[in-house]
Each structure stands twice: as C-alpha cells, then as structure tokens.
C-alpha cells in the first residue's frame, strides 16, 4: 500500500506511547499516511503522570525540520508540544522557510495529569505569532482559557472564546470540549465565515490519554490528503471517537486510546 500523504510532525516524545509524537506517528500511519518527525522534547511518562522532561536544543529542532522537509516535502504539518520561546522562534523561522499552508497547531500546555508543560514567554509568542501563522489551532478548554484569559464553563463560552481567538488573529479554531462535564462532548470549529459544532456522546472512560495529539494529527493527515477543513475535522473527531470507544485498559492511570481503528474508517469513507 502506497501512503496517501506525507505529514511532518513537530512534537515531544511520550515514552508511554499514548500521546505526543508516538500517538502522532500511529495516527498518521493508521490513516494511511507517511509520518516524518522533528522531536522537540523527550518526556519520561506513563499513564500515571510525567516524571521528567528533557528539551532538545532549538537548533537541533530546526535541523530536523529543514533537513527532513527539503528532501521529502510534507503535504501538511502537525505541531504539538513547543515548550520555550526559543523553540517557538526556531519553529517559526523553519516554517517560514518551508512554506507549507496546511499547518495544524495543537497548543499543548498542560498534560492531562495537570503538569504544566510550557512556560509564560512561550505562551506569549505562541499567541502573538505562531497562532497567526498556522492554518488551524486546536486548543482544549484549559489551553483556550489561558489564551483568552477567561474561564470556559459551557458551550456559549466555548464559542465566545473561539471567536476571541479569531479576533486575535487565528485563521481557524477548533476548540475541543473534552474537559467539560456533561453527557455529550462538543467541539467548536470557527473562522471568519463559519461556525460548526461537532456533538458526540461522551464516552464513559478515563482512558483518554492522547486524544488531543491524535485528533490534530488525524486532521493534518486528512488535510494532507486534500480534504477541506470541515471534513478533515469531522473525520478526525470520528477517528478519535472510535479510538476511545475501543477502551484499551493499559496502565494503572489514564490509559491510551486505540489507534488501530482506521480500517473501519477507511471502509466507510474511501
Ligand atoms: N470521553 C470522551 N468521549 C468522547 N469524545 C471525547 C472524550 N474525551 C475527549 N473526547 C474528544 O477527543 C478530542 C480531544 O479533546 P480533548 O478535550 O480531550 O483534548 P486534549 O485535552 O487536548 O487531549 P490530550 O489529553 O491529548 O491533551 C475531542 O474531539 C473531544 O471531543
Ligand atoms: Mg492536548
């Protein structure tokens, strides 16, 4: 089988394999794409939490992006954890050089266990520069709260926060609702012209480690295949939903989702 698209992933490593670059590679691969990587940091973690984080030097991140992309041109790019201002500056510099218009930014700031993964100067440059550069930003509720400086407790506040990010210069925003309580999960997609709400039944499991990384990689893969934004988000959300539904029960904490569920998706949507 020949890969349908080539995706460059710029993100941190999760040793437990449920989130981060490991989840990204599994997602791109199981959706039929070819995954390339630029590792930004190495975390030692398992399903119960993060033990330690080691940063990769910014110049080394730039090298991975530029040297990889000048040889095999990516169709789309997924960006995950960027922990410092210097790293974000290098990534911005590299993105300007490789000129790709299908960039999905998952602004990872806090791990599911609550560990803060990124410092304040990094948040500031992410909001003021990187967010404006990318095609789509996919914050979860706590990340959107940090970016807009307001609490988000319901769907109306999600919509308002998403529009605030558009006013601040984001091109497209998919605000993920996985952190809100209720029987349903709602993700809000907005840009200057459209507002869509994706509504799904909230699956009752604590094994949701890596849902956000997986979603942004799936969306990047569908965009890379040439699908439009709305369709890419719809399919990405469905892929994550199927992956949560499998309910793997690995580890003693918040376990991973099952990335090996794309066969059904392919059958249905090819
Ligand atoms: N229990 C659930 N049932 C169904 N869908 C869910 C559930 N939890 C999250 N999702 C979906 O998973 C996707 C990711 O949302 P979420 O808010 O969990 O992202 P995140 O917090 O960035 O995840 P991560 O832990 O990877 O950082 C969204 O499409 C959301 O609707
Ligand atoms: Mg996340």
Per-residue pLDDT 10s for the chain (270 aa) are 899 999 999 999 999 999 999 999 999 999 999 999 999 999 999 999 989 989 999 999 999 999 999 999 999 999 998 989 999 999 999 999 999 999 999 999 876 666 777 889 999 999 999 999 999 999 999 999 999 999 999 999 999 999 999 999 999 999 999 999 999 999 999 999 999 999 999 999 999 999 999 999 999 999 999 999 999 999 999 999 999 998 889 999 999 999 998 766 666 654
Contact (CB, 8 A) for 213 and 20? yes
**Catalytic member of 177, 210, 224, 236:** 210
Q: Distance (Å, rounded) from C-alpha 132 to C-alpha 173?
A: 11
Query: Which residue puts its alpha carbon closest to atom 16 of ligand 1?
Result: 178
Q: Which two tokens stand for residue 35?
A: 């995954």
Q: Which of 16, 18, 24 is nearest to 40 (CA)?
A: 24
Give φ, ψ of 224 to 5 degrees: -60, -30
- For the stretch 258-263, contacts whose Cβ atoms lie closer than 8 Å and that sit 24 or more positions apart, written own/partner, are 259/23, 259/26, 259/27, 259/30, 259/214, 260/26, 260/30, 261/30, 262/30, 262/31, 262/32
Residue-level pLDDT at 23: 98
Q: Which of 250, 266, 145 is nearest to 208 (CA)?
A: 250
Least distant ligand from the CA of 257: 1
- Ligand 1 and 187: CB distance under 6 A: yes
Residue-level pLDDT at 110: 74
Who's near 241: CB < 8 A, 6+ residues apart?
200, 203
**Catalytic member of 6, 127, 176, 227:** 176
4 is catalytic: no
Residue-level pLDDT at 112: 63
- 50, 105, 178, 259: which to mutate for ligand 1, most atoms within 8 A of CB? 178
Q: How many other β-carbons are positioned within 10 Å of the β-carbon of residue 90? A: 23
- Exposed/middle/buried for residue 164 (C-beta within 10 Å: 0-12, 13-18, 19+): middle
Residue 250 Rama label (left phi>0; alpha psi -120 to 50; beta): beta
Q: Distance (Å, rounded) from C-alpha 77 to C-alpha 126?
A: 16
Residue extents of the structural domains in the chain: 6-269
Who's near 60: CB < 8 A, 6+ residues apart?
none
Instruction: Decide which of 3.30.1360.120, 3.40.50.300, 3.40.50.1970, 3.40.1190.20 is the CATH code for 6-269.
Output: 3.40.1190.20
What helix, strand, coil percent values describe the chain, rounded to 5?
40, 25, 35
Contact (CB, 8 A) for 40 and 24? no
Residue-level pLDDT at 119: 86
């Amino acid at each position: 089988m020949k890969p349908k698209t080539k995706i460059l992933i710029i993100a941190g490593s999760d040793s437990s394999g449920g989130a981060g670059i490991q989840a990204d590679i599994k997602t791109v691969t199981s959706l039929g794409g070819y995954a390339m990587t630029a590792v930004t940091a190495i975390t030692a973690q398992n399903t119960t939490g993060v033990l330690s984080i080691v940063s990769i030097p910014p110049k080394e991140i730039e090298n991975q992006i530029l040297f990889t992309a000048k040889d095999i041109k990516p169709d789309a790019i997924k960006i995950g954890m960027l922990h410092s201002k210097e790293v974000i500056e290098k990534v911005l510099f590299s993105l300007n050089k490789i000129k790709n218009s299908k960039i999905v930014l998952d602004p990872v700031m806090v791990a599911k266990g609550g560990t803060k993964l990124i410092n304040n100067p990094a948040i500031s440059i992410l909001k003021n520069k990187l967010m404006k550069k990318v095609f789509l930003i996919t914050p979860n509720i706590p990340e959107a709260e940090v970016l807009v400086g307001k609490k988000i407790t319901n769907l109306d506040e999600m919509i308002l926060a998403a529009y605030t990010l558009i006013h601040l210069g984001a091109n497209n925003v998919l605000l993920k609702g996985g952190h809100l309580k209720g029987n349903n999960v709602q993700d809000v997609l907005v840009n200057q012209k459209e507002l869509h709400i994706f509504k799904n039944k909230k699956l009752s499991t604590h094994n949701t480690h890596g849902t956000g990384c997986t979603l942004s990689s799936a969306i990047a893969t569908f965009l890379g295949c040439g699908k439009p934004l709305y369709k890419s988000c719809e399919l990405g959300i469905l892929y994550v939903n199927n992956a949560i539904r499998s309910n793997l029960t690995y580890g003693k904490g918040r376990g991973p989702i099952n990335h090996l569920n794309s066969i059904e998706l392919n059958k249905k949507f090819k």
